[in-house]
A and B are shown apart, each in its own frame.
Chain A
Amino acid sequence: MHHNYIDRYSDGDTIIHSIDARVKILSTLLFTVVVVGLPRYSIVPLIWFMIGPFTIFTLAKIPFKFVLRRILIASPFIITLAVCYSFIDSDTRQVNFGPWQMQIKGSILICANIIIKFILTMSALTALTATTPFSSLLYGLEKMYVPRLLILQLAVLYRYIFLLIDVSGRYLRSYSARSLRYLGFRREATIRSAMIGSILISSLDISERVNLAMIARGFDGKIRTLSQEKIRGKDLLFATIVCVYLVVLKAILW
């Protein structure tokens, strides 16, 4: 079965896709650090930071609907966190919206700040993962001295996700093909628990077989990979643009 909803756009051939993974990882990291480090009551200046990810999505031809969906999937946790944080400040603060000034409660500002920072960092992360094949990301991480064992675990995990989607899809199809009516909450819950159990057992089976396949090809616990790509001029140019953009924005707005 073909799955393309996880890494649907990573195989594109735009200029953004061709940038070295290491440069993109470092740029995302830098962007995240700068955004997270911004004052906790600032709202309007943060919006200017959206220009970066927005430009990347446009150049890389990533649909905004796709980005929005990614952000929405991860949002419940952050919204809960933002709401919890908003109780810590009950003072009123002055906020400038261009020529207008408003008095807003500190708690609301913190809440909005966390949510906007989340949208910005999530957009940057989506820009990274949607324009970089997973293998290139792993390669980039490896070159940045992330432990090789972790890289291999991520590589196998990535493969497992698709295999598990296949297994789960088969179980669900088989269930819906024979499920002619609603059997009541208790019965349905029992069936679904049994399905989850079977999926887990299947995943264990898969892991055992993959382990055998790895041993058959001489795997002895030591990770060996091919690393051959070099940083090119356009990668350096991209890194420079990102740095200049962040420095200029920070200097102008604060």
Chain B
Amino acid sequence: MRISSCAKSNIMVIITAMTKIAVKIKDFSFKYPDATVALENINLDIAHKERVGIVGPNGAGKSTLLLAIGNFLKSQAPVEIDGMLSTKDNIKKIRQKLGVLFQNPNDQLFMPRLFDDVTFGPLNMGLSKEEVILRSKEALRSVGLLDKKDKQPHHLSAGEKRAAAIATVLAMKPEIITMDEPDSSLDPRSQNKLIELLNQMSQTLIIATCNVNFIARVCNKIVLMDSGKIIAIGNRKEILGNQELMNKHGLEVPAQLISDD
């Protein structure tokens, strides 16, 4: 089959767009004030629309890496988000592009009413009131909590709090979303609901967790970390399916991959 030069150039444009870098980290290191090395020489490129799972044992530096991606850590090596460096002028644009879901949903839900919490981000983006209400309702509907918009966050269950926290991020329509242990303290039914929700999302997802069974059902690119370093990067089967590698770093091969074999 012959492909015309015009079609070729179109394909190139599509491929370039598809592989556009969403997050770029180069030689990033970070030490805590007590001199503990949290991240050491991190190099990572994440393309748009990729679903990246960061796995590793406790204390591997997964959460710190997410903080670095969220531009919350000060380091000599800057982190690029969608080609933008974290400068004073860019930080607002970066915050709009990058949604951050923290480990504990209680930290994310700080307003007295769920709807106020969801509108907090869009209002800070300077959107019109109509747009803010529209986005917030849409976000709550997508996580199945629209009927609970007037509830106080402390009256929600753990699964609902997690979904509500996701809605607070979705309302800002970010292109990239980082999630720190989104599956923690969720029962299997709530986990399945969350997986279903995550698999419907079209954003670039960066998820840190030590639950390999969860990550195997959501992410196709895996970053294995241990002791503040990136040990391996590869696709789901290459990393999560490698029993020797997983055992060496205190993890297990996910049940799903064992049954696939």
Measured CB to CB, the residues of A under 8 A from B are 1-4, 7, 11, 133-135, 138, 155-156, 158-159, 162-163, 166, 206, 209-210, 212-220, 222, 224-226, 228
Chain A residue with Cβ nearest B119 = A226
Q: Which residues of A contact B121 (CB under 8 A)?
A: 217-218
Query: Which of B72, B95, B108, B120 has the most C-beta atoms of chain A within 10 angstroms of its own C-beta?
Result: B120
Please tell me if B109 contacts chain A, counting CB pairs below 8 Å.
Answer: yes
In the bound complex, CA of A4 to CA of B169 (Å): 27
The reply to whether B125 and A218 form a contact with Cβ atoms under 8 Å apart is yes
The reply to whether B116 and A135 form a contact with Cβ atoms under 8 Å apart is yes
Q: Which residues of B contact A219 (CB under 8 A)?
A: 120, 124
30 contacts between A and B (CB under 8 A): A2-B155, A133-B113, A133-B150, A133-B152, A134-B113, A135-B152, A138-B112, A155-B116, A159-B110, A166-B106, A206-B106, A206-B107, A210-B110, A212-B67, A212-B72, A214-B120, A215-B95, A216-B102, A217-B120, A217-B169, A217-B172, A218-B95, A218-B124, A219-B120, A219-B124, A220-B92, A226-B123, A226-B129, A226-B133, A228-B133
Please tell me if B132 contacts chain A, counting CB pairs below 8 Å.
Answer: yes
Instruction: Say which residue of B106, B112, B168 sits within 8 Å of A158 (CB atoms).
Output: B112
Q: Which residues of B contact A214 (CB under 8 A)?
A: 110, 120
The reply to whether B95 and A155 form a contact with Cβ atoms under 8 Å apart is no
In the bound complex, CA of A217 to CA of B120 (Å): 7
The reply to whether B112 and A226 form a contact with Cβ atoms under 8 Å apart is no
Instruction: Say which residue of A133, A162, A210, A218 sits within 8 Å of B107 (CB atoms).
Output: A210
The reply to whether A163 and B95 form a contact with Cβ atoms under 8 Å apart is no
Least CB distance from A233 to B in Å reads 22
The reply to whether A4 and B155 form a contact with Cβ atoms under 8 Å apart is yes
Q: Which residues of A contact B124 (CB under 8 A)?
A: 217-220, 222, 224
Known: A210-B110, A228-B129. A162 touches B95 (CB 8 A): no
Having A134-B152, A217-B95, A222-B124, one finds 8 other A-B pairs with CB under 8 Å, namely A4-B155, A159-B154, A209-B107, A218-B124, A226-B116, A226-B123, A226-B129, A226-B133
For window 85-128 of B, CB contacts with A under 8 Å fall at 92, 95-96, 99-100, 102, 104, 106-113, 116, 119-121, 123-125
Q: Which residues of A contact B107 (CB under 8 A)?
A: 206, 209-210, 212-213
Least CB distance from B33 to A in Å reads 13
Q: Which residues of A contact B112 (CB under 8 A)?
A: 133-135, 138, 155, 158-159
Please tell me if B241 contacts chain A, counting CB pairs below 8 Å.
Answer: no
Please tell me if B61 contacts chain A, counting CB pairs below 8 Å.
Answer: no
| Count of chain B residues with a beta carbon within 8 Å of a chain A beta carbon | 36
The reply to whether B133 and A159 form a contact with Cβ atoms under 8 Å apart is no
Q: Which residues of B contact A7 (CB under 8 A)?
A: 152
Query: Which of B72, B107, B112, B133 has the most C-beta atoms of chain A within 10 angstroms of its own C-beta?
Result: B112
Least CB distance from B138 to A in Å reads 15
Closest 5 CB pairs of A and B: A218-B124, A217-B121, A135-B113, A224-B123, A209-B107
The reply to whether A3 and B123 form a contact with Cβ atoms under 8 Å apart is no
The reply to whether A159 and B109 form a contact with Cβ atoms under 8 Å apart is yes
In the bound complex, CA of A226 to CA of B112 (Å): 14
In the bound complex, CA of A215 to CA of B98 (Å): 12
The reply to whether B120 and A2 form a contact with Cβ atoms under 8 Å apart is no
Q: What does the 1/0 interface line of B59-99 toward A look like (CB < 8 Å)?
A: 00000000100101000000000000000000010011001
Query: Which of A155, A212, A217, A218 has the most C-beta atoms of chain B within 10 angstroms of its own C-beta?
Result: A217
In the bound complex, CA of A133 to CA of B149 (Å): 13
In the bound complex, CA of A224 to CA of B126 (Å): 9
Least CB distance from A136 to B in Å reads 8
Chain B residue with Cβ nearest A214 = B110
In the bound complex, CA of A218 to CA of B119 (Å): 12
Q: Which residues of A contact B168 (CB under 8 A)?
A: 217
In the bound complex, CA of A165 to CA of B245 (Å): 43
Known: A135-B113, A135-B116, A219-B124. A213 touches B108 (CB 8 A): yes
Q: Which residues of A contact B116 (CB under 8 A)?
A: 135, 155, 225-226
In the bound complex, CA of A162 to CA of B107 (Å): 12
Q: Which residues of A contact B100 (CB under 8 A)?
A: 212-213, 216
Chain B residue with Cβ nearest A162 = B154
Least CB distance from A35 to B in Å reads 29
Q: Which residues of A contact B125 (CB under 8 A)?
A: 218
In the bound complex, CA of A11 to CA of B113 (Å): 11
Q: Which residues of B contact A3 (CB under 8 A)?
A: 154
Q: Which residues of A contact B96 (CB under 8 A)?
A: 218
